Amino acid sequence: MDTVHPVGTLSGPLPMRVEGDRAYGPGIYDMKGGNSIAFSALVHLHATGQRPKLPVTVMMIPDEEIGSPFSRPYIEVEAKKHAIVLVVEPSGDFGRVTIARHGIARYNVKTTGVPAHAGAYHSKGRSAIREMARQILAIEAMTDYDRNVTLNVGIIHGGTHENMVPLSCEAIVYCLVPLPEHEAEVRAKLLALTAVDPDVKLEVSPGLYRPSFVKSPAIQRLYDHTAKLAHEIGYPVKGERVAGGGSDGNFTGALGVPTLDGLGVLGDGPHTHQEYLLVSCLVPRTKLLMRLFETLDASFGSR
């Protein structure tokens, strides 16, 4: 239910509006649209006197974009009680279904310098921001597109006054690590970083880690069944996809519970001010979830 958009986005750069087949709004594609169709599918199923074949629990997660630090234990407990997990994160590439996800790791980096009056005593200061700037270049240089390993410094805070050599600076690194061995490699490199300026202290500490989930035979069966249903509805899926970003599907997939992800809405521009969903996908994608609820039985949950 959370989005990366700060409060004020709706009244500012990304107002809710419909233009042709596109409905724009913060989080509409990633992933409020998915939450909405999952809930609607169950409501419609009940309204027509039908019931899902297996008991369905709908989880609405409020802290997913920051790595689900509070929800993770609840997600894992529920996942173990259920045969299958369906994730209504947005569909990728206008219709693909997510059958695997890379791992995501976060790291906190902190530099502590020596403060000084930036006018009178500049030479006595050791800038935490200057040190961080050097570290950022070193960290982002660890990116290896050939292996899909990427490191992004997405947040940085430092300094208190412009007339002061800054005492401290903090940054958060978001790493795409397709496999556990990539995570181990990135971890070793980040923890081995040393300060360029010997008078500045550098600390690197691991944050949240979402392990990768990979396609199993059970996920293949789930995908094939979903593709068949989508074809019958007349709104076919456009193939399988290994997604770069993490989701709560990483937790359930890594537990070994057959997980199919990316069953939400079609659209584009997640995490940007151009975020939209395709209005024309809402009915067929809701039908697809209804049909999954109607047809998935315990045989799809065998691991």
CB of 246 to Zn ion, least distance (A): 9
Which CB sits closer to Zn ion, 91 or 112?
Answer: 91
First to last CA, the chain: 29
SS3 at position 208: strand
CA distance 5 to 156: 17
Which CB sits closer to Zn ion, 30 or 261?
Answer: 30
Are 165 and 126 in contact by the 8 Å Cβ rule? The answer is yes
Residue 103's beta-bridge partner residues? 177
CB of 270 to Zn ion, least distance (A): 5
Residue 157's beta-bridge partner residues? 170
Which CB sits closer to Zn ion, 30 or 240?
Answer: 30
Interface segment toward Zn ion; rule CB under 5 A; list 25-33, 139-147, 195-203, 209-217: 25-33
Interface segment toward Zn ion; rule CB under 5 A; list 27-35, 156-164, 261-269, 279-287: 27-35
Which CB sits closer to Zn ion, 240 or 248?
Answer: 248
Region of residue 94 (left: phi > 0; alpha: psi -120 to 50; beta: else): left
Beta strands in 147-265 (DSSP E): 150-158, 164-165, 168-177, 201-210, 240-243, 259-260
* Whole-Å CA distances, 66 to 34, 37, 77, 109, 203: 18, 23, 20, 17, 21
Collect all residues with Cβ–Cβ distance below 8 Å to 130 and sequence separation of at least 6: 113, 197
CB of 26 to Zn ion, least distance (A): 11
Instruction: Indicate whether 240 belongs to the interface with Zn ion (CB under 5 A).
Output: no
Instruction: Indicate whether 275 belongs to the interface with Zn ion (CB under 5 A).
Output: no
Interface segment toward Zn ion; rule CB under 5 A; list 29-37, 167-175, 205-213, 251-259: 29-37
Are 186 and 105 in contact by the 8 Å Cβ rule? The answer is yes
Instruction: Indicate whether 261 belongs to the interface with Zn ion (CB under 5 A).
Output: no
CA distance 258 to 299: 11
Residue nearest to Zn ion (CB): 30
Which CB sits closer to Zn ion, 89 or 131?
Answer: 89
Interface segment toward Zn ion; rule CB under 5 A; list 23-31, 51-59, 273-281, 286-294: 23-31
Instruction: Indicate whether 248 belongs to the interface with Zn ion (CB under 5 A).
Output: no
CB of 30 to Zn ion, least distance (A): 4
Instruction: Indicate whether 30 belongs to the interface with Zn ion (CB under 5 A).
Output: yes
Which CB sits closer to Zn ion, 30 or 248?
Answer: 30
What is the distance, to the nearest Å, from the Cα of residue 177 to the centroid of all Cα atoms in its chain?
Answer: 13
Are 214 and 88 in contact by the 8 Å Cβ rule? The answer is no
CB of 265 to Zn ion, least distance (A): 13
Q: Scan residues 89-148 and list those touching Zn ion (CB under 5 A).
A: none
Residues that bind Zn ion (CB under 5 A): 30
